[in-house]
């Protein structure tokens, strides 16, 4: 689930580091 959220966050923020980190933390 973390990966999926990270990918969504990546697409929304256009920043893999931010989206990926947020996905793994949540």
Note whether 9 and 23 are within 8 A (CB). yes
Query: What's residue 9's pLDDT?
Result: 63
**Mean pLDDT for the stretch of residues 2-19:** 62
Query: What's residue 1's pLDDT?
Result: 47
Query: What's residue 17's pLDDT?
Result: 61
- 0.75 exceeded by the pTM? no
pLDDT digits (tens, 9 = 90+) for 12-26: 656 656 656 666 555
- Tell whether the torsion through CA atoms of 3, 5, 18 and 14 is positive or negative: positive
DSSP assignment of 4-25 equals HHHHHHHHHHT-HHHHHHHHHH
């Amino acid at each position: 689930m973390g990966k999926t959220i990270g990918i969504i966050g990546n697409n929304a923020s256009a920043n893999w580091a931010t989206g990926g980190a947020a996905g793994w933390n949540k």
